[in-house]
Amino acid sequence: MGMDRNTLIGFILIGGLLIAMFAINSKNRLAYEGQQKRIADSMLAAKPPVDSNLIKIDQTKVDSIELSSKAASFQAPGLNEQISVLENEVMKITFSNKGAQPISVELKKFKKIDGSLVVVQKGSFNKINYRFNANQNKTEDITEVLFQSSTPVMNADNSSTLSFIAADSTGKKITHTYTIKPGEYLVDMDIEINGADQLFSQNYMNVQWQSQAEQIEKDHAYELTQSHICFLENNKFDFEYIAKGDSKSFKNDVNWIALKQQFFITALIAKNKFTNVNVNWSIPSDTLTQYLAKATTTGQLQFSGISKSQHIPLQLYYGPSDYNILTKYNNQMENIVPYGSGIFSFVKYINRYFLLPVFNFLQSNMASMGIVILLLTLLIRLITSPILYKSYLSGAKMKVLKPEVDALREKYKDDQQTFGMEQMKLWKSAGVSPLGGCLPALLQIPIFMSLYYFFQSNIDLRGKEFLWAKDLAAYDSIATIPFSIPFYGDHVSLFTLLAVITSLLISLYSMNSMQDNSNPMMKYMPYIFPVLLLGVFNKLPSALTWYYTISNTITLVLQFVIQKYIIDHQKIMVQIAENRKKPVKKSKMQERIDAMQESQKKLKEMNKKN
């Protein structure tokens, strides 16, 4: 007993959809590799624009000495650059009083491959800037102003606060205050302005936010395909791929904007929203650089009324792309975790409300993440086993009818249309649905795709070892090839080989048990999918290839057990015989189709007589 052609077609459709998704997820990396010149041009275009609303400065006449002298008009004399630190259990933020902003953010619970802590904010490019009127003759960049820093203060709720103040002799003052709470990755940033009517020409502040994503994971190219510009525009979430340089202007107000890497996020949040926002991003032309991308966002923060004193509340997020953490902030940032997108965006609900809770429960009770994946796979296959059983049962019924189908094929070998009509009548009289094998297989697609997204996006897999895999969030490698093979890569993944071998065994088993293998394409199609998997899977996280290895092995076992020990073939024959005794109920639609087919049959007979 075995699969009929419809069942096999169903699984081939699943394979085709999976391959299509792999192609979609890798298209950005291919564009990145093929358009280096365009990327370099985009990098030049990404330079911060000059604020046209404020007094323009002839940049050709500005050097570092002049910038220092300009800034000196809005700060206490004798100040030097100083470093301050705020930290809690999960991160350490280093601030500079020059610009009064973070210059480095270390995440204490996450490490890179070399063992060093993950740093999500580092380098001179990363900064928040805005320009203000220092006096009647010039404007200044806030990043060039040396603030007077305070000593960090521990608040009653165990949060920590750090303040920076810059003022002039007339009483105009700018204060930056930062607050972090225990165990949180979200930083409150408050900008207080005294004399806003004189410091800013309009009733708003032009803000520029620059963020640079450093390569953190093992595979630069793969991490780039998993990196996005994410944003909440008019309370609706969306994202853009960043595998090639580009820009985007927003028609509506923006609540927040984020540069998301594979597993980490840097975000700027405006509690009162940004207006007139534009973001452009670029990637380095040198693929060996340690940075993935640079993003520059410009926008306006509106003042409340026209009072001289203004208060602008902002927030900064420096932390993991973790659904459990992000969902606590009630600002839709949990959508950044890509648990489903595109035509498969609906699977994010399966991931969020079923797979994630089950996964969290299992990992809280199991020491090995590989065993957690094994148990999760067993649970999924147990739930979907009735669907698989129906598919095999349909195949068993069709095999019983195979001799009659073969007789019809021989009788109408020169008339395929009539053969199809008679075959449908035969199946219907026996109570067999021609889609009995195909539909159950198609119903499994949401499960396949939800797991595909889940294992690529779950940060809890990062850094977890299992068997020979050093990191379940990256590909495993048992050997390195001294050169790169097109479509395959420069390493050998053992989990990929196991997944491909088990897929090939399923294809061979299905081929041997097919009811109709007269079509030459059907003979070779089952072999194509496993071969394609070899190249596609070799770059994917080992958690995903480990899952497919387990799932394929379970499929092989279920095929053998169901077909040999569960399906009662004698009972099926009796059931088919009973079905033939019953009158066939037809819907009105089916009656019209039968009438049309009968008319076509009579027309053919008349043509033959003539």
Q: Is the pLDDT of residue 161 over 70?
A: yes
Q: Is the dihedral of CA 35, 37, 43, 45 positive or negative?
A: negative
Q: Is the pLDDT of residue 302 over 70?
A: yes
Q: Over range 582-606, report the average pLDDT.
A: 63
User: In angstroms, rounded to a whole number, what is the distance separating the alpha carbons of residues 439 and 441?
Assistant: 5
Q: Over range 204-232, report the average pLDDT.
A: 91
Regarding predicted confidence, which is higher, 599 or 258? 258
For residues 383, 398, 1 and 561, what is the CA-based torsion angle, rounded to 10 degrees? Answer: 20
Q: Quick one: which H or E segment has residue 522?
A: helix 520-537
Q: Is the pLDDT of residue 182 over 90?
A: yes
223 DSSP assignment: H
Regarding predicted confidence, which is higher, 274 or 341? 274
Q: Are 296 and 281 in contact (CB under 8 A)?
A: yes
Instruction: Kindly list the distances between the CA atom of residue 446 and the CA atoms of 244, 384, 430, in Å, as whole numbers in the listed order.
Output: 30, 11, 31
Give the bridge partners for 254, in sequence order. 233, 274
Mean pLDDT of the chain: 80
For 379-434, write each residue's pLDDT tens digit: 988 888 777 777 777 767 777 777 777 777 777 777 777 777 777 776 667 666 66
Regarding predicted confidence, which is higher, 139 or 206? 206
In this structure, of 43-57, 66-80, 240-254, 577-591, the range with the lowest mean pLDDT score is: 43-57
What pLDDT does 232 receive? Answer: 96
Question: What SS3 class is residue 130?
Answer: strand
- Take residue 441 and report the two structure tokens written for it: 């297989």
What pLDDT does 546 receive? Answer: 94
Regarding predicted confidence, which is higher, 285 or 101? 101
DSSP 376-396: HHHHHHHHHHHHHHHHHHHHH
In this structure, of 158-167, 346-355, 465-474, 580-589, the range with the lowest mean pLDDT score is: 580-589
Q: Is the pLDDT of residue 485 over 90?
A: no
Question: What SS3 class is residue 39?
Answer: helix
103 contacts: CB under 8 Å, gap ≥ 6: 83, 94, 95, 96, 121, 122, 126
Write the secondary structure of 466-505 as one string of H (helix), E (strand) and C (coil): ECCECCCCCCCCCEEEEEEECCCEEEECHHHHHHHHHHHH
Q: Is the pLDDT of residue 135 over 80?
A: no
What pLDDT does 44 receive? Answer: 46
The percentage of the chain sitting over the pLDDT mark of 90, rounded to a whole number, equals: 41
What pLDDT does 46 receive? Answer: 46
For 270-284, write each residue's pLDDT tens digit: 988 999 999 999 988
Q: Are 107 and 121 in contact (CB under 8 A)?
A: no
Q: Count of CB atoms within 10 A of residue 597's CB? A: 17
Phi-psi region of 489 (alpha: psi -120 to 50; beta: other; left: phi over 0): left
Instruction: Kindly list the distances between the CA atom of residue 605 and the CA atoms of 2, 140, 339, 538, 610, in Å, as whole numbers in the listed order.
Output: 37, 92, 57, 57, 9
What pLDDT does 558 receive? Answer: 80
Q: Over range 104-117, report the average pLDDT.
A: 89
Amino acid at site 400: V
Give 170's pLDDT tier (boundaries 50, 70, 90): confident
For 16-73, write each residue's pLDDT tens digit: 655 555 555 555 444 444 444 444 444 444 444 444 443 333 443 334 444 444 444 6
What pLDDT does 287 receive? Answer: 61
Regarding predicted confidence, which is higher, 518 or 190? 190
Give 609's pLDDT tier (boundaries 50, 70, 90): low
User: In angstroms, rounded to a whole number, what is the distance separating the alpha carbons of residues 93 and 317?
Assistant: 12
444 contacts: CB under 8 Å, gap ≥ 6: 14, 384, 387, 388
Residue-range domains of the chain with CATH: 5-25+349-581 (no CATH), 46-337 (2.70.98.90)
What pLDDT does 386 receive? Answer: 79
Give the bridge partners for 310, in sequence order. 193
Regarding predicted confidence, which is higher, 433 or 159? 159
- Take residue 228 and report the two structure tokens written for it: 């996005």
Give the bridge partners for 163, in sequence order. 177
Among residues 263, 249, 370, the alpha carbon closest in space to that of 326 is found at 263
Give the bridge partners for 297, in sequence order. 209, 279
Give 586's pLDDT tier (boundaries 50, 70, 90): low
Instruction: Kindly list the distances between the CA atom of residue 172 and the CA atoms of 70, 165, 335, 374, 476, in Å, as whole numbers in the listed order.
Output: 16, 11, 41, 63, 59
Q: Count of CB atoms within 10 A of residue 592's CB? A: 11
Q: Which of 255-264, 528-537, 579-588 has the largest mean confidence?
A: 255-264
Instruction: Kindly list the distances between the CA atom of residue 140 and the CA atoms of 148, 196, 413, 483, 556, in Å, as whole numbers in the listed order.
Output: 17, 14, 87, 52, 70
What pLDDT does 123 receive? Answer: 77
Q: Is the pLDDT of residue 138 over 90?
A: no
In this structure, of 20-24, 73-77, 99-103, the range with the lowest mean pLDDT score is: 20-24
The percentage of the chain sitting over the pLDDT mark of 70, rounded to a whole number, equals: 72
Q: Any idea how long the chain is?
A: 610
Give 533's pLDDT tier (boundaries 50, 70, 90): confident
Q: Is the pLDDT of residue 301 over 60?
A: yes
Give 583's pLDDT tier (boundaries 50, 70, 90): low
User: In angstroms, rounded to a whole number, what is the distance separating the alpha carbons of residues 53 and 130?
Assistant: 12
Q: Is the pLDDT of residue 574 over 80?
A: no
User: In angstroms, rounded to a whole number, what is the distance separating the alpha carbons of residues 412 and 138?
Assistant: 92
What pLDDT does 591 receive? Answer: 59
C-beta contacts of 91-94 below 8 A and 24+ residues apart: 91/180, 91/185, 91/318, 91/319, 93/121, 93/178, 93/180, 93/187, 93/318
Among residues 192, 209, 181, 178, the alpha carbon closest in space to that of 315 is found at 178
Q: Over range 141-149, report the average pLDDT.
A: 92
For residues 471, 477, 480 and 483, what is the CA-based torsion angle, rounded to 10 degrees? Answer: -90
- Take residue 600 and report the two structure tokens written for it: 């076509």
What pLDDT does 343 receive? Answer: 86
Q: Over range 123-149, report the average pLDDT.
A: 87
59 contacts: CB under 8 Å, gap ≥ 6: 50
For residue 563, report the phi and psi dihedrals to the nearest 5 degrees.
-75, -30
Q: Over range 595-606, report the average pLDDT.
A: 67
Question: What SS3 class is residue 347?
Answer: helix
Q: Are 262 and 184 in contact (CB under 8 A)?
A: no
Write the secondary structure of 394-462 as one string of H (helix), E (strand) and C (coil): HHHHHHHCHHHHHHHHHHCCCCHHHHHHHHHHHHHHCCCCCCCCHHHHHCCHHHHHHHHHHHHHCHHHC
Give 148's pLDDT tier (boundaries 50, 70, 90): very high
User: In angstroms, rounded to a whole number, what is the distance separating the alpha carbons of residues 182 and 68?
Assistant: 37
Q: Over range 217-226, report the average pLDDT.
A: 87
Match 């580009």 to its residue by tokens.
246
